[in-house]
Chains A and B, each alone.
Chain A
């Protein structure tokens, strides 16, 4: 199961208003993307890492695990900047692109840490219903909330089916493996529509009117937190511009 969701439900900022965390994390993402990579990316990356390891009390290993897969894209995606196409020879290494590749990798890493900062501190169940206040139609937020609630069940189903298939030596050859993976997908399809049908029946029995509104905790926005977040983002931007 996605580790970030578990962290989001257990971290010390769990009870904070999602808007506060969005201001901090997305403000830092904006700074990472808009500022010159050197020293902007370094400062943003350090600030995000300090918050992740400090107030959010994540272990370095948990942060590494969260960024490992997307970092593969960042590394692979930076390689083309080290290659030049055209001229003579047609394809050659371009060491002059090293600066640009490092700047790109640095900026993406910093922004990724900020994304993890939001994802590891804010459960989607808290954020989704509040999107209505930003103008997202209730039908869309409710579908998204349903997706969120169903996908954990379906992931668990897929895992169970996979275990059962492995127990029956289903992954011996390519042929059997493909048949098994197709079986997993079909089982999830049937499971998801079966759950939807049962939800339909359950809601109909409870007088379903078409609204799936859930109770949202009334959490006041913390002014000191908002001020501190804005101050941090401003300080990072100012420091990056002065040092650039």
Chain B
């Protein structure tokens, strides 16, 4: 769920844009450099962006009986790295605003900060940490995707709380209010997204190990074939 157009007061909208801008500009510079060195990267990045958009449009069943959409930030960060995701995520957010009116132009900075910056960085940090500690690919992917989903929505809750502090208990009380609605209810959905992402990565390891190796997700060949008898 993105912060809707016009929801944030002007000062907050501008401040979040300023906070998100360096990350997005850094991502854009990384992309420009990458494209200059290898023009074919542009096509892969276009494919990655379109994949991120469609991934967030998939419906996953949730415990309440309704359906929800994955944020896709965890999988995106594992596959394409956080700096690239800062740019791709922002492009996807612009498209979501202009194609389905989710999010907005004035709230783009705030949404980019939670979905294209905090989410991917949390996912990547968790994934790398789990792998370094000797955790399996599935454990790393599950924790990365679930925690990225939770981190994204917790950031959104804090952004909303800062904009609309509680009259009695201030920002802290407001974090509790918005957090209850947007983060606590998100916990089962974060677990669902984690499980789904594990299933997706397992499938990709099976059917597309070359692409995963090209993206740097898999270092060694996924399956070692037995020596053939001659």
Contacts and interface: CB of A to CB of B under 8 A. Distances in A.
- A148, A195, A203 pick with most chain B CB within 10 angstroms: A148
Contacts of A76: 181
A146 to B, nearest CB: 3
Given A151-B54, A193-B47, A119 B102 contact: no
Contacts of B39: 208-210
Interface bin, chain B? 35 or more
A20 interface: no
Contact of B169 (A85, A184, A188): A85
A52 interface: no
A196 B43 contact: yes
B13 interface: yes
Given A146-B45, A178-B199, A111 B2 contact: no
A179 B195 CA distance: 10
Contacts of B61: 174, 177-178
Contact of A154 (B3, B51, B176): B51
A208 B203 CA distance: 33
Interface stretch (B120-128, B132-140, B160-168): B160-168
Nearest to B215: A193
A57 B39 CA distance: 43
Majority SS at the chain A contact face: helix
Interface string A173-185: 0100111011111
Interface residues of A, number: 87
Majority SS at the chain B contact face: helix
Interface string B111-149: 000000000000000000000000000000000000000
B222 interface: no
- A108, A122, A189 pick with most chain B CB within 10 angstroms: A189
Interface in A202-230: 203, 208-210, 212
Contacts of A181: 58-60, 196, 199
B105 interface: yes
A116 interface: yes
19 contacts: A26-B105, A29-B106, A77-B4, A80-B178, A81-B164, A85-B177, A87-B168, A137-B32, A144-B95, A146-B43, A147-B46, A147-B50, A149-B46, A154-B54, A158-B57, A185-B55, A188-B54, A188-B55, A208-B39
